């Protein structure tokens, strides 16, 4: 792997609080890598240490093979897109992008105009270069922030929850644009998010963080299908907990009669069902009093509250964990 960014046993200690706890990561050149976890898990602190806004208490950060501990933010060949975008309201789109070049102290004699125009075309804002941020939509403001960072041609682009300010429909649209943009420019993206769907849909690989530490690193498919801890399994999607392990709601089934040989089943009573467009989510209560969730196709048999049913699944769909979550 052609590694561009390495965090080696990095920790960050604040008075009475360890925000990042001995994390080690290797991120490949040209990779879309996500740090995923709940609020307070340490993912943004990790980003700030890479950017130079915070210094590790212990451990090392390497960029392109060079140790960058102690370097000031403008001395690091990284660029950051903040959650708030941090655009200057009095500057035009072009002015905001140009500021990014000047802020780094770079002078591209004879190249400034070409780079700015290329950045505008990259994010499809070439016809809006003279508008100010207040005249743009949320998605357009996010593109300006991206262009301002990409024009610097950083080795790594750091994105701190850049989609969280957008409404749900626009988030999905911009998410597709972001993935396409990263593929076109070939720059390494390190994406910080608490949104599981964003991480799963965007990432080449991802790290799930919990209480300052990395719980698991892998592709979205590996982490979703083979979580190593109960925390990872619960954080990435719904879970039903059974004595032998865990079950995703989408691999559980409902029937009025028990299934044939080879499947595992439990008698249950329908408690509640919710229509969610392409599927129906059904909550059932077992004889023990515990509840489970099943997802059925919208054209399957409809179950009403109070119906006696059997919830069943295949043994091979059960999830078993290599390690327990950190205490």
Q: What is the pLDDT of residue 324?
A: 56
What percent of the chain has pLDDT above 70?
A: 94
Measured from the Cβ of residue 253, the count of other Cβ atoms closer than 10 Å reads 18
On whether both 293 and 225 belong to a single domain, the answer is no
Q: What is the pLDDT of residue 206?
A: 97
Stronger pLDDT, 260 or 72, i.e. the higher one: 72
Q: What is the mean pLDDT of residues 93-113?
A: 72
**Global model pTM greater than 0.75:** yes
Number of domains into which the chain is organized: 2
DSSP H stretches of helix in the chain: 43-51, 93-103, 112-122, 138-150, 168-185, 196-202, 220-225, 230-235
- Whether 4 has a pLDDT exceeding 70, the answer reads yes
Q: What is the mean pLDDT of residues 21-49?
A: 95
On whether both 253 and 219 belong to a single domain, the answer is no
Q: What is the pLDDT of residue 325?
A: 44
On whether both 35 and 80 belong to a single domain, the answer is yes
Whether residue 216 lies inside any domain: the answer is: yes
- Whether 60 has a pLDDT exceeding 80, the answer reads yes
- Whether 26 has a pLDDT exceeding 90, the answer reads yes
Q: What is the mean pLDDT of residues 254-264?
A: 81
Interior angle at CA 50, CA 44 and CA 53, nearest 5? 75
CATH number, domain containing residue 248:
2.40.50.140
| Whether 313 contacts 275, CB under 8 Å | no
What percent of the chain has pLDDT above 90?
A: 54
Q: What is the pLDDT of residue 62?
A: 97
pLDDT class of 141 with cuts at 50, 70, 90: confident
Q: What is the pLDDT of residue 131?
A: 92
Q: What is the pLDDT of residue 309?
A: 92
Q: What is the mean pLDDT of residues 259-272?
A: 86
Which of 51-65, 192-206, 254-268 shows the lowest mean pLDDT across its residues? 254-268
On whether both 291 and 169 belong to a single domain, the answer is no
Cα 7 to the center of its chain, rounded Å: 18
pLDDT class of 327 with cuts at 50, 70, 90: very low
Q: What is the mean pLDDT of residues 81-110?
A: 76
Q: Give residue 259's domain range.
A: 239-317
- Beta-ladder partners of 158: 80, 190
Q: What is the pLDDT of residue 107?
A: 53
Give tens-digit pLDDT for 218-247. Answer: 999 999 999 999 999 999 988 998 876 799
On whether both 165 and 245 belong to a single domain, the answer is no
DSSP string for 224-265: HHS-SSHHHHHHSS--EEETTEEE-GGG-EEESS---TTEEE
pLDDT class of 168 with cuts at 50, 70, 90: confident
Q: What is the pLDDT of residue 323?
A: 53
The owner of tokens 């919990």 is: 210
On whether both 225 and 269 belong to a single domain, the answer is no
CATH number, domain containing residue 52:
3.40.50.300
Q: What is the mean pLDDT of residues 299-324?
A: 83
Whether residue 103 lies inside any domain: the answer is: yes
On whether both 108 and 188 belong to a single domain, the answer is yes
- Whether 275 has a pLDDT exceeding 80, the answer reads yes
**142 SS3 class:** helix
């Amino acid at each position: 792997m052609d590694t561009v960014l390495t965090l080696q046993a990095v920790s960050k200690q604040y008075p009475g609080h360890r925000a990042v706890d001995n994390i080690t990561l290797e991120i490949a050149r040209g990779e879309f890598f996500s740090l995923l976890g709940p609020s307070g898990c340490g993912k943004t602190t990790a980003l700030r240490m890479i950017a130079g806004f915070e210094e590790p208490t212990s451990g090392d950060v390497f960029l392109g093979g060079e140790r960058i501990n102690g370097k000031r933010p403008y001395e690091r060949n990284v660029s950051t897109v903040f959650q708030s975008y941090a655009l200057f309201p009095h500057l035009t789109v072009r002015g905001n992008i140009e500021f990014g070049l000047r802020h780094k102290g770079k002078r591209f004699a004879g190249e400034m105009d070409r780079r700015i125009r290329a950045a505008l075309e990259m994010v499809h804002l070439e016809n809006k270069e003279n508008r100010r941020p207040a005249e743009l939509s949320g998605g357009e403001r996010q593109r300006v922030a991206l262009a301002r960072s990409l024009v610097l041609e950083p080795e790594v682009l750091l994105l701190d929850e850049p989609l969280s300010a957008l409404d749900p429909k626009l988030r999905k649209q911009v998410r597709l644009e972001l993935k396409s943009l990263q593929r076109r420019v070939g720059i390494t993206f390190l994406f910080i998010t608490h949104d599981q769907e964003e991480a799963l849909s965007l990432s080449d690989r991802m790290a799930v963080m919990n209480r300052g530490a990395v719980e698991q690193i892998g592709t979205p498919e590996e982490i979703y299908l083979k979580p190593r801890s109960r925390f990872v399994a619960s954080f990435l999607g719904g879970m039903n907990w059974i004595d032998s392990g865990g079950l995703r709601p989408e691999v559980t089934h409902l029937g009025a009669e028990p299934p044939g040989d080879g499947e595992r089943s439990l008698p249950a009573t329908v408690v509640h069902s919710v229509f969610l467009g392409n599927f129906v989510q059904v909550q059932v209560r077992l004889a023990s009093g515990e509840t489970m969730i099943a997802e059925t196709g919208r054209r399957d048999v409809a179950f009403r509250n109070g119906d006696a049913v059997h919830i069943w699944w295949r043994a091979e769909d059960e999830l078993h964990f290599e390690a327990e979550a950190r205490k």
